[in-house]
Amino acid sequence: MMLLVGILAPLPVPAAPLRTGPVLVLGDSLSAAYGIPIASGWVSLLEARLRAAPAPREVVNASISGETTAGGLARLPKLLAEHEPALVVVELGANDALRGLPIAAPRENLRRIVEQIHQSGARVLLLGIEIPVNYGPQYRDSLRAMYRDLAGDFKLPLVPFLLDGVALDPDLMQADGLHPTAAAQPRLLDNVWPALEKALQP
């Protein structure tokens, strides 16, 4: 049985040689600048930073409000073929979790997303999310473990919580308590930047 498990476990994929294509962000409302001007969103701020870098790089924001891991998986092949990204930033799972879906479903979708990105020759950066405490500690722990385990299995860079330092500050969250304000977006970029900058190194 141990041998069988070893065979079925995902094989670590070494980082692909860095391509010249764009950074593709595959996300949901947290990356689609929900409720704020598009130009204020963290992905737009990232685009401005990369445009001013010594080696400028384009950013393609393929994030859609309400997107799930299943939706991202369905859209991914066309996005990979069209843009040939160097790096795909995957920010999905929040809407699966808010619907209370069994963790096995988004975990499998994310696994397939990562595999398809690697097969395309691009690198992956995984962004984790957290959900409100009323979902219970067991579900929240399972969600955290999902991102951590995927990152470990595939040797991916991981930002454990995109909204770290933001989610519990009412001044940085919109009235719905789920989406960050425009003022919070630089902090989101700061959370992502160290891992993203490293992922873009040759």
Residues annotated catalytic, as ranges: 29, 176, 179
Name the residue among 33, 184, 15, 163 with its Cα closest to residue 88.
Answer: 15
Label residue 17 exposed, middle or buried (CB < 10 Å: 0-12, 13-18, 19+): exposed
DSSP state of 160: S
Query: What SS3 class is residue 158?
Result: strand
CA distances for 161 relative to 93, 100, 130, angstroms: 12, 19, 6
